[in-house]
Structure formats: C-alpha cells, structure tokens
Structure 1
Amino acid sequence: MPLEQHSDPFEERLSAGLRDAAGCFETDRAALVTAGAVRGRRRLLLRRRAAVAGGAAGIALVGVGGALLLPAGDGGSREGRGDRSSVAAATHASASASAPASTTPVSGDALIRTLEKLLPDGRFSGAEARGTDEKPGPYAHVVFDDGKGAAAVGVSLGRVEPGSKEAKQVTECPGKAYAHYDACTTSRLADGSVAMVLQGYEYPDRRVDTKWWNAELVTPRGHHVSVSEWNAAAEKDAPVTRPQPPLSPAQLRKLAAATAWRDAIDTIPAEPDRPTADPTGAAPSVSEPVAAVPVAPTLKSLLPKGLTVLEDSGRDSGFGYVVADDGKGRSLVQVNVQGGMQDVAGELFGADAETLSDGTKVAVQQGPGEKGGAGVVMWTVDTLRTDGTRVVISAFNSGAQDTAATRKTPALSVGQLRAIALSPKWLL
C-alpha cells in the first residue's frame, strides 16, 4: 500500500548522493531552503507515516540537515517524491549493532493474526504484511470494521539505538509550525518505555477530512513499534467512513505497547553496521552540520528586542526554527547550518552574490513561499564562509509555510536576517 508523502523525508548517510547531485546542480535557493527546512521532528513524523502505510514506501535521496543539494531537473516536487522506504527498515539498519541473536522469524501471516487478536471485536479484510525476515522490514496492515465504519490500521516494527537522538526524537511531539495536528502527548510507561500518541490528519492542508492517528513506542532496549489508524478504509483516496479512527488514544498506546511486537522485533535478523566513511576516501557528507550548535537557542539569542517567541524547535543542531510575534502577527523564522560546503560554492552562489572583505559570500532572495499558504512570502539570506560553513536563514509572514499570511511582511527585515546569519555565534 504505497504512501505519497507530503514533505521532506531523509537518509542518515548521503555523502555520495549529495556529491553526485552537486555536479548537476542549478541554483534555486528558495527551493533549497524550503526543501531542507523540515529536519528533526517532522522528518521522523513522516517516516512514521511511511512505515505504517503498508511498508512499501521509501525515503528519497535528499540529504541531511538543512538546505540540500538537489539536481534542479529532478522532476516532481521537493515535497513529494517516489523511492520511499519504511521506517522499520531505516531503524533496523541504523541500530543493527544492538540487535539480539536472531531466532525463528515471525511470518507476515502471524503478524496479521497478532494484530487482529489485539484489536477489538469486528470484521477484518484487506490484510497485508511482511515478516520479520523480509526486506525492508516487518509490518502488518488490515482494514478493521467494528460496526461503525471501515478503518485502516497498520503496525510497523523496527529498532533504534537505545538512548540515541533518533530514539528521543521519534517519541517527541513535532512542532506545529511544520506538522498540523489536534493533540499530541508523550508519556513514560511503567517498564521505562516512552510512547507518543499524535492525533493528526492525512492531509496537512485538510483538503480531505481523513484523520491519521499515530502511536510511537520505544523501549529501553531499542524496540520501536509504530502504529497508525485512519477513519477511512485506506490512508488515501478512500471516503471517510466514520468521524474518528476506531481506537482511542489510550487504546492506540496500549496496542503499541503489546509485548508480542517486542518478541517479533527480537527475531529481526541483524545486519552489518553501515560504514562510517566512504571507502573511496571521499570527504564526509557536505550536508553534515559544522558543529553541534543548538540552532533554536542560538537564533533566539540573536533576535532583536520586541519579538516574543511562541514556539521553537528545541536544541537540535543543523536545523532549527522559532515562531515569533512582534505584536503584528506570527512569523516563522528558520535556520540551516551546514559544514563542508566550500566545494560547491560555485553552484550555490552566482556572479551576483556579494563577497565580504573576509571572503564570506552573501546572497539574498525575496519571493513567494512555496508551501501553498495564501499570500505567504519568504525572505532568505544565504551565507558561506571561507571555511565551508553555510548559514541560511529564512523568514515568513506566517507562523507556518502552508497557512495563510498573518502579516504583510516577515517580522525580521532583510538586514536583520543578514546580521543573524553572519553572527560568529554559529561557529564553535
């Protein structure tokens, strides 16, 4: 059951792909910044969707940590790409070192039977599954009808490294500047597992009232269970059959916490660790953050007086954002910080770019937003220092890119954006 994603997915290691893309790159700075903006919580949110939509979805080769290098003629939107993969496969591969010795695999049919047994009484149809020894990872999906309307329900299984950044992020509620939802809670269970339950929508713009509710559970041993349900028989292109998905948030959390899923995860075969360096000796990925600078706190420290921060992205490095208001309306401000970008300076900055006395390149772009929000404009200042550090800052005249403008112009002027991007605080 393929899933057509709405936003930017990611891969953890893409140095070779990024360098190949750089060779055929044409500058489209606004598109780059927009495409790379949704890092951290939202990238994981969308991987959750791909996982439980049937496991056939894939992750597009777009890069890590901010504004990305993509061929301008790659075809299709930067928000919705083919070549998708399940989160189960991604987490399985990234955490294979922690996998226990494999036991007898659990078949797809067995996973379906487990899912049906754990759901309330009702009728089942449309079952699809993949076993724990099948690529790219195990999942089970059914259409469940409790007499109040058919609803798609799916579960995907994988691993994350215990205590890792990904393990933490997957159970954090995403920022509403990038993911629209009605409610989201994170709780710790008695056994130390952390569970996140999100009540959102299949379409962020709400053009169809298909609801998507999702539970993410990570155990202290790194088991990762992702469960989703919809108020329709399919996540897309199916009529809404009921006002709400069939399981309450508490029931959804309980389903994710079932020990049967952990037992199944223990049978996923271990895989060799991915290499940490390019065997050809190539330099690290050009999109890796230059340093572990917490972006949102740094950005907040550089904002001019008179702005009230209503929301921020936490302490992630590489990408961060704030939603601020100066009394004239909400304004989203986002920053990408990257290192090792000196070898693609020619592709990023044209002849019209300004070069400062210390060699730093600066480019400014003002234009319409690209996420569909009515009347939204995007102001961007892109900077590249001689050591390869790239800092890109964008501001919008709305609290989110895909909602209508809340003010005539962004809360920060181009001059203020420039001063923030050039601040030495981005360098450790």
Structure 2
Amino acid sequence: AVAGGVAAVALVGVGGALVLPGGQGGDGRQQSAAGSPKAGITTTAAETGAAKPAVSAANLLGAFEKLLPGGRLTQTEARGTDERSSAKNMYATPYVQGVYDDGRGKAAISVGINRVPPGTQEARQNTQCPDKAFIAYDSCSTTKLADGSALMILKGYEYPDKRSGTKLWRAELVTPTGQFIDVQEWNAAAEKDAPVTRPEPPLSAARLTALATAAEWRTAADAIPASQWPKSAPNEPKGPTGSVSATLAGLLPKGVEIVGKGNADPEFGYVVVDDGKGASLVQLNDQPDMRDVEGELFGADAKVLPDGTKVVTHQSAGDKDIAGIVMWTVDTIRPDGRRVVISAFNSGAQTTAPTRKTPALTLSRLEKIATDPKWNTLG
C-alpha cells in the first residue's frame, strides 16, 4: 500500500485515514484498514527481464491449501499472474484467499502478491511498524531475515476504534529483489460486516511468518509479467530535507506541553500536545510543489495573504468510525506551489476517543503555524 507501508499519513486534500500496504490505497501509505489484495492493479513502468512461466489461480490455490494444514478451506478464490483486470486491459496483481476453519471458528485469510522497487523508500515503508497515533494495534515487530528480506508482523484491528472486536493480523514481507508478500488474517469469516467467530485469528506469529515466507509466493511474484514490474530506482531523486516534526514543535505556542512527537521526516510530522485540558494530535504535511492541484483545493473563496499565499480552513468530523472526534484543518499554498496543510484533533490520536471538546490549537493558531516562513527553509 500501506500508502505504502503502514506508516505514512496524508491530510485533507491529500488523503484521509491511514493507508496500509498490499495495494490497498495507492497511499503508498494511507487508508484506514486493509482491503482485499485483489483490489490492487499493477500499473508501474516496465523493466526488462526474462519472462517467467505464469502461475495460475489453480497453482496458487494448491499452494494455499498445502500451506494451511490442520483445517478446512472454503469460499476460496484466486487470481493468477496471467490474468488481466476486467476494468482495464492490464495485468492485475495475483492473490489467493479463503475461509479457514481449524475447528475453533471460521477465519478469513488472504495472500496478496506484488512487487515494489527494491532498495527504495517505498520498499522500506512497507515493513515499518506504523505509529500508534494513526493506527490501533496491540503489537508490531520488524525482523531482518537471513536472506536480507524484511518481515513485519502486526497484530491489530480491522476498525480504528476496535469496534465489533474484529482483529486483523498481518505479515508483510519485502525481499531484496522487490518481491512483496502481504498476508492478512481475521478472527471472522470476512474482513468486514461479519460476526467475530473466535477470540483471535488462527495463525500465530510463527505460522504467519511461515506462510509469508513460503517459496511459492516468491515464485508467483517473479512470474508477474516483467512489463508490469516497478522500475528500479537505485538513485532516488533528492527530496526535501529537514524534520517537519521538529519544526512544528518549535512553532507551538507557550503553555502547551509536548507529550508525543513524530520521527524526523522531511514531508510529514506530528506532535501530541496537552494544555492541561487533554491530549490533542497536531499533524502537518509540507509538500514542495502542488500547483497542479491548486485549482481543486483553493477556490475563489480562499483567503489570499499579502505575499500571495492562499488559505482555506475546514472544520469536520475526524474518523467517521469514532464518535465525537473533531478535526480542524488549515490548508495553505504559497505562490511557488509549496503547500503546508496542518490539522488538529480533539484526541491524542486519530484512532482513539476524544479527550477534550475541541483541539488544543485554534484555527488562527494553526494558520499562523502553516504560514510561518520557517517552512520555506525545509528542503
């Protein structure tokens, strides 16, 4: 996707909630919960390479059944590496899924198979544990395997507010050659709108690891037509530099305590503040040139500052699945296209219940932060 990996976040006008990997959201990093791998379509640039024999849907189903002993599989479906999307004349990403019953309750399990450009930030993000400010989970770990692959095991939930008790556990594997395997399992017979059938998904972390690292999926990843492989980018273009989280922290008003802060990312950052009335998440995206979407995001009613910066504000509900959560946003774009968009919540995380009636920072304070000249010094 996980918007790749599970870790990135985009704000209003960029994307909504967090996106998980596995072809779910285009977000390279943003979407609220894992969708079925069958939704992903590979549309990236061609890379030369010898053609590999196709892996059929029947082959994938056979591997799926072999790798899930000790139970019964029903409602299975799969898509091989030689199948095209019904919507577009292009190859669709292969997957296999079904309902597994080991006698302790039915559980949906899926395996998505894709490729990512090896050695890139996108590849790394797919196996980085997400920040709990944006996605609820019980545990997460990333391990480097002997062959150089990275494996993330995440035990979380289908819904950000943990409603209905539906748990989603996943294993994300990225190999040094760019094979990307996304295994997901639930404690229900379907990912959404199905009753919980067991306390936890059926596969332990060890069994998730065994399923994700099975050679059959790597063979299928190599069989994705070479014309659909993402182009390798060993020398990624130099992007913005600096830390958004650190800069944001330095622009906060007196009287608020920082109780949480994001990592040193040059385009996205956040702080969790508390003014004595409850925790409040404040997050910010700094994007270097967004003139191509200026007309969509900044209409005739946008406020124009003396230096030409356009400003729009939004007051809305936050995550639709969390009652009472409020999000205030100030979106700005400078004449050179630099877009700084900041949002504040009346909760310490996007995925938790409100801790206060309104965000800790007013709209005028958010505008002052977003239009501060310090953002011009990043990148």
Which residue pairs with 2:235 in the alignment?
A: none
Which residue pairs with 1:213 in the alignment?
A: 169
Give secondary structure in 2 for the equivalent of 1:406: coil
Give secondary structure in 2 for the equivalent of 1:36: coil
Task: Report the more deviating stretch, 173-182 or 335-344.
Answer: 335-344
Amino acid at match of 1:139: Y
Among residues 252, 265, 289, which one is paired with 2:208 in the alignment? 252
Which residue pairs with 1:198 in the alignment?
A: 154
Task: Report the more deviating stretch, 321-330 or 163-172.
Answer: 321-330
- Supply the distance in 1 between the matched residues of 2:69 and 2:287 (Cα, whole angstroms): 48
Which residue pairs with 2:244 in the alignment?
A: 295
Among residues 34, 39, 50, which one is paired with 2:12 in the alignment? 34
Among residues 22, 29, 37, which one is paired with 1:48 in the alignment? 22
Shift of residue 33, structure 1, vs aligned partner: 4.5
* Change in 2 beyond 3 A, CA 1:153/1:272: closer
Indicate conservation of the 8 Å contact 2:248/2:369, yes or no: yes
Amino acid at match of 2:260: L
Among residues 343, 353, 356, which one is paired with 1:394 in the alignment? 343
Indicate conservation of the 8 Å contact 1:95/1:159, yes or no: no
**After superposition, what is the alpha-carbon deviation per residue over 1:322-365, rounded to whole angstroms, capped at 9, x for unaligned?**
33334432211121233444466565445654433322233444
Indicate conservation of the 8 Å contact 2:173/2:213, yes or no: yes
Indicate conservation of the 8 Å contact 2:2/2:22, yes or no: no
* Change in 2 beyond 3 A, CA 1:327/1:316: same
* Change in 2 beyond 3 A, CA 1:130/1:349: closer
Shift of residue 224, structure 1, vs aligned partner: 0.7
* Change in 2 beyond 3 A, CA 1:194/1:327: farther
- Supply the distance in 2 between the matched residues of 1:368 and 1:148 (Cα, whole angstroms): 39
Among residues 187, 198, 208, which one is paired with 1:231 in the alignment? 187
- Supply the distance in 2 between the matched residues of 1:380 and 1:156 (Cα, whole angstroms): 35
Q: Percent identity?
A: 52
Shift of residue 155, structure 1, vs aligned partner: 0.7
* Change in 2 beyond 3 A, CA 1:193/1:290: closer
* Change in 2 beyond 3 A, CA 1:248/1:300: same
Among residues 313, 320, 325, which one is paired with 1:371 in the alignment? 320
Give secondary structure in 1 for the equivalent of 2:61: helix
- Taking the TM superposition and a 5 Å limit, the aligned residue runs for 1:113-124 are 113-124=62-73
Indicate conservation of the 8 Å contact 2:114/2:179, yes or no: yes
Indicate conservation of the 8 Å contact 1:290/1:337, yes or no: no
Which residue pairs with 2:88 in the alignment?
A: none
Amino acid at match of 1:220: P
Amino acid at match of 1:198: L
Indicate conservation of the 8 Å contact 2:270/2:284, yes or no: yes
- Taking the TM superposition and a 5 Å limit, the aligned residue runs for 1:170-209 are 170-209=126-165
- Supply the distance in 1 between the matched residues of 2:297 and 2:223 (Cα, whole angstroms): 46
Is residue 382 from structure 1 mapped to residue 360 from structure 2 by the alignment?
no
Indicate conservation of the 8 Å contact 2:140/2:152, yes or no: yes
Indicate conservation of the 8 Å contact 1:65/1:319, yes or no: no
Number of aligned residue pairs: give it. Answer: 357
Which residue pairs with 1:282 in the alignment?
A: none
- Taking the TM superposition and a 5 Å limit, the aligned residue runs for 1:26-175 are 33-34=11-12, 36-38=14-16, 42-43=18-19, 45=20, 47-48=21-22, 50=24, 59=25, 86=38, 89-90=41-42, 93-94=43-44, 96-97=46-47, 100-134=49-83, 135-175=91-131
* Change in 2 beyond 3 A, CA 1:106/1:327: same
Amino acid at match of 1:138: P
CA RMSD across the alignment = 3.4
Which residue pairs with 1:268 in the alignment?
A: 224
- Supply the distance in 2 between the matched residues of 1:310 and 1:136 (Cα, whole angstroms): 41
**After superposition, what is the alpha-carbon deviation per residue over 1:272-291, rounded to whole angstroms, capped at 9, x for unaligned?**
6789xxxxxxxxxxxxx994
Structure with bigger helix share is 1
- Supply the distance in 2 between the matched residues of 1:37 and 1:324 (Cα, whole angstroms): 23
Indicate conservation of the 8 Å contact 1:323/1:333, yes or no: yes
Task: Report the more deviating stretch, 367-376 or 226-235.
Answer: 367-376
Unaligned runs of 5+ in 2: 5-9, 84-90, 232-237
Indicate conservation of the 8 Å contact 1:34/1:370, yes or no: no
- Supply the distance in 1 between the matched residues of 2:104 and 2:73 (Cα, whole angstroms): 13
Which residue pairs with 2:282 in the alignment?
A: 333
- Supply the distance in 2 between the matched residues of 1:149 and 1:308 (Cα, whole angstroms): 44
Shift of residue 166, structure 1, vs aligned partner: 1.0
Give secondary structure in 2 for the equivalent of 1:332: strand
- Supply the distance in 2 between the matched residues of 1:342 and 1:140 (Cα, whole angstroms): 41
Is residue 242 from structure 1 mapped to residue 192 from structure 2 by the alignment?
no
Indicate conservation of the 8 Å contact 1:213/1:245, yes or no: yes
**After superposition, what is the alpha-carbon deviation per residue over 1:98-136, rounded to whole angstroms, capped at 9, x for unaligned?**
x74222111111111112111232222222111122231
* Change in 2 beyond 3 A, CA 1:320/1:96: farther
Which residue pairs with 1:307 in the alignment?
A: 257
Amino acid at match of 2:285: N
Is residue 422 from structure 1 mapped to residue 371 from structure 2 by the alignment?
yes
Task: Report the more deviating stretch, 380-389 or 299-308.
Answer: 299-308
Give secondary structure in 1 for the equivalent of 2:54: coil
Shift of residue 246, structure 1, vs aligned partner: 0.8
